[in-house]
Amino acid sequence: MPTPTPDLPENQVIPAPALEKRSRRQYTAEHKLRIITEASACKHGQLGAMLRREKRYSNQLSASRREYAERGVDGLSKSSPGPAASKTAEQRQNEQLIKENDRLKRKLEVANDCLDLQKKALSMLDHLRSGSDA
């Protein structure tokens, strides 16, 4: 028979809502500019330590440098994720309406072709009836 265990305190984990969902880290333009200037001032071998201290990756530093070189301080500000939209909402709606219009035109052509076939078949039947009567 197992020995009874002494009363142990309950070990409960209390969830912290702040830790439940991690979000992406977002850096301000000032922070990125400070990191770029610190990285530029680093001597050989100091860059890795500086990146570890700031909890950054070398590709993030490269991207910040590239953005700063291309567009200056404005390039360092937060941009929306994903590729930039190539078309406006109005252009997308216009394309959608054009596609729908083309689809309806094809449907109308098929319906008109069916009507033409029915007319020809009726005409052929009329000729056959009139030919057999004569």
Give the single-character DSSP code of 82. S
The pLDDT of residue 9 is 58
pTM of the model: 0.46
- Please say whether the beta carbons of 60 and 104 come within 8 A: no
CB atoms under 10 Å from CB of 7, counted, come to: 6
Looking at 28-86, list the stretches that DSSP marks H as alpha helix, in order from N- to C-terminal side: 29-41, 47-54, 58-71, 73-76
The pLDDT of residue 125 is 93
The pLDDT of residue 39 is 92
Regions of the chain where pLDDT drops below 70: 1-10, 79-80, 132-134
Q: 62: exposed, middle or buried (C-beta count within 10 Å: 0-12, 13-18, 19+)? A: exposed
The pLDDT of residue 75 is 80
Going from N- to C-terminal start, the domains of the chain cover 26-78, 87-134
Taking CA atoms, 78 is separated from 26, 57, 88, 108, in Å, by: 8, 18, 21, 50
Looking at 1-134, list the stretches that DSSP marks H as alpha helix, in order from N- to C-terminal side: 17-20, 29-41, 47-54, 58-71, 73-76, 89-133
The pLDDT of residue 74 is 81
The pLDDT of residue 25 is 78
The pLDDT of residue 50 is 92
